[in-house]
Structure formats: structure tokens, C-alpha cells
A and B are shown apart, each in its own frame.
Chain A
Amino acid sequence: MSELPSEVAGWIGQKRYQQAGEFEVERGYVFTSCASVGNGNPLFWDESVARELTGGWIAPPTMLSVWFRPHYWAPQRTGAAQPLQVHFDLKEKLGLPEAIMTDNTIVFGEPVRPGDRLETWQVLRSVSEPKRTKLGLGRFWVIDVEYQNQRGEWVGTETYTGFGYRRES
């Protein structure tokens, strides 16, 4: 397990899975997100405040990844699509059936607005040597997810640290 497969090593620094969102940013999901955490920020509920402060409606910044999480099912798709595909590729190629996210950094750029059609890509930054934790034996990895809007403006970057592992009895 100690040597990183060359295919995985080749992914480091590569721009992968560039894609446009399956749907446009829309207010219905903004309400669902706000309702899930009781977010009453008037930027999302009061049009006069949104117009004055942000030049119109925006989406909560922390919803960045929401706009790329695929529908659970869609016609012509075989199996459920996976967001953060590099993470799942790593699990498969490294033979690590379980995984958790340990660290998450989000940097926010231009506000995301209803009607935007965002674009994203993923870059694997690093994979650790094998480590043993209380969960099991596995590896940590760091993945950047970049986001931009349809005008090519940077809207944010998420950096995930994941730990893929095999449970030990």
C-alpha cells in the first residue's frame, strides 16, 4: 500500500472533470438551504435589501458546491453520479472503501446570482503516505475545486482534505 500508483500520481496538479452545472442557480434552492439552518439574512428574503446591498438577489456564498451536486437520477445516466469525482476515483484506485472529509476551506469571490450557470473543475493537490487513525488504515488527500461564472469571473475555490480508509477489525 505504501507506493502511490503511477496513475494516481499523474493526477496531481491536473485540471480534471471540467463541467458546467446541470442547472442554473435558482432561488428555490436558496430558500431550501436557508430553511435548513434558519438563515434569515435579508439578502435572501428582502428584495429591497438585496437590491441596495448586492445589486439584486444573490445565493448564500456557502452554497457554491450545491450548484454542482448532480441529480440523484437522470435519463440516460447509468448509476448515481458522484460529486467531487476525484475523491471517489481515489477511493477506487487506492482500494479504500470508506472515506470522510476532515478539513474544508472555502474562499469566496464574486457573488453567485440566480440565473448564473457556473462552471467547475477539480485539481488533486496531494496524497499522503499511508496513515493509521482510529478509523482505520488509509491516506489523506487534498483536492481543490474551482468555480467560475458564465462570464469567466472567479466565484470561489473549495479545498477539501479527505481521508480514505479501510476499517480494521
Chain B
Amino acid sequence: MSIAIGDVKPGLALPELAVDVSATTVVLGALASRDWRPMHHDKDFAQQRNGVRDIFLNTPNLAAWYERYLTDWSGPTGRLGRMQFRMRDSIFPGDRMVLRGTVEKVETDELGCAWAEVAVSIAVGERICTDCTARIALPSAPGDNPWRRKGADWRP
């Protein structure tokens, strides 16, 4: 199922996604993003060089988590235009991370492309580890498909 812009209004909350993070989650994410740096697979290195308690999720994999969360909600016609996120704290094995999102703005640009701006965060307990503002194109009407936009018709 795909969401269209008419289904969306500011303040709409996206369904939460909770994930129990393990060492496998961290290492799999690092390898999937071809990030061989040791703080994402070597606990001794993370503790001694980075001064943190364990290996932690890497930035490109967090982007992949955000994408999965947003397109789980939008369906396949949702097309990411822009993501801006900030790392505030690390996410470690043993953490239960929870992704939450809220639609902040809905607009249609001068080319007729419909956009939802969504604020997403990843929290562990009360600790916000990273937050993100994403701009995602959604169908403006039945039959519209943001993926058909090319070149100057796509202004993310």
C-alpha cells in the first residue's frame, strides 16, 4: 500500500518501529555499508580509542534505517528527496532503539511535485541518539508517480 499526499497532514504520527540492537546488527550494518573501520566491529578498539562502551551503529547504516522507516510508511511510490540528520549519541549492542516520526509540513512545489517533510528520531529509552528531517515526495493524485520525475522536474 502506498500513501498519497491527500492522506497526510501536519502532525500525523508515523507508526513506531522498535529494534533490539545486537552486535550482529552493528557489524551487519557496517559491512552492508562497506565500512571497515574497527569501532564498528572491534569492541576493544571502540573502548580504548573512542572511549565508548562498545561498538556502535555507523552513520551510513543509520541512513539506511531511516530510509527503511520512511518507506515502510510511504510505500514504494514514496521517493526520498533529502535527508538531514544529526548524530547525538551512539547506539550500542543491548540497546532497544525506537524510531518515531511526525509529519511537519506538506507542500506542493511549483512543478506539481507533492512533498511531506517528516521529523524522525531514533531514541534509546529517553536518550535521543539521532534525529532526522526528511523530505519525501508522495503521489499528488491517483496515478501520479514521483519516480517519473527527471532532471529539472525533480527539485529535492
For the residues of A in contact with B, the DSSP-based class is: mixed
A102 to B129, CA, bound (A): 11
Known: A37-B68, A41-B71, A100-B87. A62 touches B80 (CB 8 A): yes
Known: A101-B59, A107-B81, A109-B154. A42 touches B87 (CB 8 A): no
A60 to B23, CA, bound (A): 24
A98 to B50, CA, bound (A): 7
A41 to B86, CA, bound (A): 25
Interface residues of A in 60-98 (CB under 8 A from B): 60-63, 65-66, 69-70, 72, 80, 83, 98
Q: Chain A residues near B65 (CB, 8 Å)?
A: 37
A167 to B28, CA, bound (A): 29
Contact with B along A109-127 (1 / 0, CB 8 A): 1110000000000000000
Tell me if B101 is interfacial: C-beta within 8 Å of chain A.
no
B82 to chain A, nearest CB (A): 5
B63, B79, B82, B85: the one within 8 Å of A107 (CB): B82
Known: A102-B87, A109-B156. A43 touches B76 (CB 8 A): yes
A34 to B63, CA, bound (A): 12
Cβ contact within 8 Å between B32 and A36: yes
Cβ contact within 8 Å between A37 and B76: no
Cβ contact within 8 Å between A66 and B60: yes
Cβ contact within 8 Å between A103 and B85: yes
B139 to chain A, nearest CB (A): 10
B140 to chain A, nearest CB (A): 15
Tell me if A10 is interfacial: C-beta within 8 Å of chain B.
no
Q: How many residues of A contact B (CB 8 A)?
A: 44
A153 to B25, CA, bound (A): 34
Cβ contact within 8 Å between B76 and A39: no
Known: A39-B64, A105-B82, A109-B154. A66 touches B77 (CB 8 A): no
A103 to B86, CA, bound (A): 4
A40 to B150, CA, bound (A): 25
Contact with B along A15-59 (1 / 0, CB 8 A): 000000000000001001111111111110000010001110000
Known: A36-B28, A60-B67. A104 touches B84 (CB 8 A): yes
B23 to chain A, nearest CB (A): 13
Interface residues of B in 48-70 (CB under 8 A from A): 49-51, 59-61, 63-68
Tell me if A8 is interfacial: C-beta within 8 Å of chain B.
no
Contact with A along B21-42 (1 / 0, CB 8 A): 0000100110111111000000
Q: Which residues of A contact B (CB under 8 A)?
A: 29, 32-43, 49, 53-55, 60-63, 65-66, 69-70, 72, 80, 83, 98, 100-111, 135, 153, 167
Q: Which residues of B contact A (CB under 8 A)?
A: 25, 28-29, 31-36, 49-51, 59-61, 63-68, 71-72, 76-77, 79-87, 145, 147, 150-151, 154, 156
Query: Knowing that A63-B33, A104-B84 are A-B contacts, what are 12 other residue pairs whose CB atoms are under 8 Å apart, sorted by A's residue number?
Result: A29-B34, A33-B33, A36-B32, A37-B29, A41-B71, A42-B76, A53-B77, A61-B67, A80-B36, A101-B87, A106-B84, A108-B81
